[in-house]
């Protein structure tokens, strides 16, 4: 079984920064894509950022220039550094990873989510 554990959420003021971390553990052969989604109250889940094992990244337009995604392939971790936070960034942030669990199977796993609240 594979688990993703997130950490680093919290309450900050507008303009401040936070770093989210996510660690994958369990039966892992390799991890291709890792990333973060977020879901604000009453809104659909939104893709925030992704990173491939080779380091290629992709960001939502709303976070470009403010958020930076990174990963440590040896530790199976992915981080999201968030600068210049605004109240519009308030959401539950979910880590996900597309993981090869054996020679034949890839599966996408999700963390339970971590709350990020930005006050004005």
Average pLDDT of the residues of the chain: 96
**12 pLDDT exceeds 90?**
yes
**103 pLDDT exceeds 90?**
no
**111 pLDDT exceeds 90?**
yes
* Six-digit token string for 24: 């994958």
Work out the number of other CB atoms within 10 angstroms of the CB of residue 53: 13
For residue 4, name the pLDDT band (cuts at 50, 70, 90).
Answer: very high
89-104 exposure pattern, b = at least 16 Cβ within 10 A, e = fewer: bbbbbbbbbbbebeee
Residue-wise pLDDT tens digits, 38-66: 999 999 999 999 999 999 999 999 999 99
């Amino acid at each position: 079984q594979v688990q993703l554990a997130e950490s680093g959420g919290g309450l900050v003021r507008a303009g401040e920064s936070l770093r989210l971390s996510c660690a994958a553990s369990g039966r892992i052969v390799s991890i291709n894509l890792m990333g973060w989604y977020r879901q604000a109250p009453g809104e659909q889940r939104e893709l925030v950022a992704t990173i491939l094992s080779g380091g290629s990244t992709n960001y939502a337009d709303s976070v470009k220039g403010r958020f930076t995604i990174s990963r440590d392939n040896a530790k199976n971790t992915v981080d999201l550094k968030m600068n210049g936070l605004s109240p519009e960034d308030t959401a539950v942030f979910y880590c996900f990873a597309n993981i090869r669990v054996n020679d034949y199977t890839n599966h996408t796993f999700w963390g339970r989510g971590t709350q990020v609240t930005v006050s004005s």
